[in-house]
Amino acid sequence: MKAAGTVVYHFANGDVPYGSRALYRHASAVLESVDNLYDYLTGWQNIQYFTELNGQNFKAVAPTATNLLTRFDLLADANKRVGQYSRGMKQKLAIVCCLLADTELIFLDEPTLGLDFMASHTLITQIKAINQELGKTIVLTSHQADVLAQLVDRILLIDQHQIRYLGTYTDFRRGYVAFPFYIEFALTAPPTPPANGRVAAADPASWRAEFTDSASQIAYLKLLIQADAQITQVGQTETSLDDILQSIFAESEGKS
């Protein structure tokens, strides 16, 4: 059965339905699969072309462009033809042009794909800083779990054309690690755990207690200290986003 409905984007100055040409005035994008710049133009010429294409006055945005070029370490190369740029430099210039459009919604498609470690790290740092300073909504599409883990605060996970998850990154991780907080200890008979905790024997001489939250972990730790238990380890299980995604897609492939 085909789903029916309407997608509406909510912006500060009104709502725009999906498919409306008015959406273009509110959104800008850097796409991985297409050329976002013209190689035969210089950095500055690309900026001028795209700002004027957006109906902006180039002279008016030039100071902001200078600031962004400086932040992305491109100012010294802004008068060179883009065809001489490295992949990382092109990606940064494309983001500069995108930001100069000053839209409320920004789409970044695989922004670090093909970049070396340092270029990727620099770009991630700048994206985070700009997002916090300018308050833009950035929709990041990526297959690189390490990039997502550093940048996102909300996740939309699509698998087999179906939405598997939509919500906060924190809740997403919590949903796949039910009892992240733990205590390992040695004691003849462990105290009864709280409702949101569990205890199991790790081996004949020791136990492992697990909890859904840190408050329960601390409360149980106090009980163990009172019982004179030998505490061997207290911590929190860290499951990476990459591990979670691999588990989800392995499960999906098994069902298909």
CATH number at residue 20: 3.40.50.300
Is 111 in the same domain as 71?
A: yes
Q: Does 82 fall in a domain? A: yes
Secondary structure of 72-94 in the HEC alphabet?
CCCHHHCCCEHHHCCHHHHHHHH
Q: For position 183, what pLDDT does the model report?
A: 96
Domain end position, chosen among 136, 152, 168: 152
Q: Does 200 fall in a domain? A: yes
Q: What is the spatial distance between Cα 232 and Cα 223, in angstroms, rounded to a whole number? A: 15
Backbone angles phi, psi at 44, to 5 degrees: -65, -40
Q: For position 225, what pLDDT does the model report?
A: 96
The Cα angle at residue 197 between residues 191 and 200, in degrees rounded to 5:
65
Flag the least confident range among 70-74, 193-197, 242-246: 242-246
> pLDDT band for position 3 (50/70/90)?
very low
Q: Does 251 fall in a domain? A: no
16, pLDDT greater than 80: no
Is 211 in the same domain as 112?
A: no
Q: For position 5, what pLDDT does the model report?
A: 43
- pLDDT > 90: percent of the chain: 41
Q: Does 158 fall in a domain? A: no
Q: For position 21, what pLDDT does the model report?
A: 66
Q: For position 176, what pLDDT does the model report?
A: 75
92, pLDDT greater than 60: yes
Backbone angles phi, psi at 180, to 5 degrees: -75, -25
Is 189 in the same domain as 139?
A: no
- The top-scoring range by mean pLDDT among 26-40, 91-105, 129-143, 220-234 is 220-234
Is 15 in the same domain as 91?
A: yes
Q: Does 166 fall in a domain? A: no
Is 96 in the same domain as 212?
A: no
Q: Does 256 fall in a domain? A: no
Domain that holds residue 200: 178-236
Average pLDDT, the chain: 85
Is 43 in the same domain as 124?
A: yes
Q: What is the spatial distance between Cα 9 and Cα 239, in angstroms, rounded to a whole number? A: 33
- Collapsing DSSP to helix, strand or coil, 200 comes out as strand
Is 114 in the same domain as 189?
A: no
Q: For position 4, what pLDDT does the model report?
A: 41
Q: Does 167 fall in a domain? A: no
Distance of CA 168 to the CA centre of its chain: 10
Q: Which residues contact 186 (CB under 8 A, 6 or more apart)?
A: 205, 206, 207, 229, 230, 232
Domain end position, chosen among 109, 135, 152: 152
**HSE (CB half, 13 Å, CA atoms) of 150?**
17
Averaged pLDDT for residues 172-188? 85
Averaged pLDDT for residues 166-193? 87
Q: What is the spatial distance between Cα 30 and Cα 99, in angstroms, rounded to a whole number? A: 10
Q: Are 69 and 75 in contact (CB under 8 A)?
A: yes
Q: What is the spatial distance between Cα 98 and Cα 107, in angstroms, rounded to a whole number? A: 9
Q: What is the spatial distance between Cα 65 and Cα 58, in angstroms, rounded to a whole number? A: 9
> pLDDT band for position 211 (50/70/90)?
very high
12, pLDDT greater than 60: no
Is 60 in the same domain as 141?
A: yes
Domain count, the chain: 2
Is 12 in the same domain as 90?
A: yes
9, pLDDT greater than 70: no
Q: Does 3 fall in a domain? A: no
